[in-house]
Amino acid sequence: MTDQEFSVWWNKLCAKLRLGAKIQHWSVTEGLKVDSFVVRHIAANYIQIEGPKDRIYQRTISAYDFRQVLIDWHGYRVGRVSRKTIDAASKHSTYVIGMIHWMETATSPSSTH
């Protein structure tokens, strides 16, 4: 992924996300999960999220984290790249994966989002 390709992707993600958007966790092996998080802030180079109220946590996830996961995203989606490899690319991989998957499904032609 070139710098320009990532910049276009990042801008699309930031434009599509809304404050308060609820994003479900997702994995290639388990699909959508019950747990979710909420988008709290969108900036030029990071997104801040918050976890459920019963165990509140906040994370600030840089654009760099997304780019690192996107490098192996296709391989992860088709089972050629392990989750361990994705986890090594970002300490926020759980949330990055959820948002990348959300972005894919939110922009797919069959999506009703």
Nearest CA-CA partner of 66 in 49, 54, 79: 49
Contact present, 95 and 61 (Cβ < 8 Å): yes
**What pLDDT is stored for residue 52 in this prediction?**
78
Question: Cβ contacts of residue 63 below 8 Å, gap of 6+?
Answer: 6, 10, 45, 46
Contact present, 58 and 48 (Cβ < 8 Å): yes
pTM: 0.89
- Confidence check: pLDDT of 112 > 50: no
Kindly report, residue by residue over 51-97, the tens digit of the pLDDT: 877 677 899 999 999 999 999 999 999 999 999 999 999 999 999 99
Kindly report, residue by residue over 10-45, the tens digit of the pLDDT: 999 999 999 999 999 999 999 999 999 999 999 999
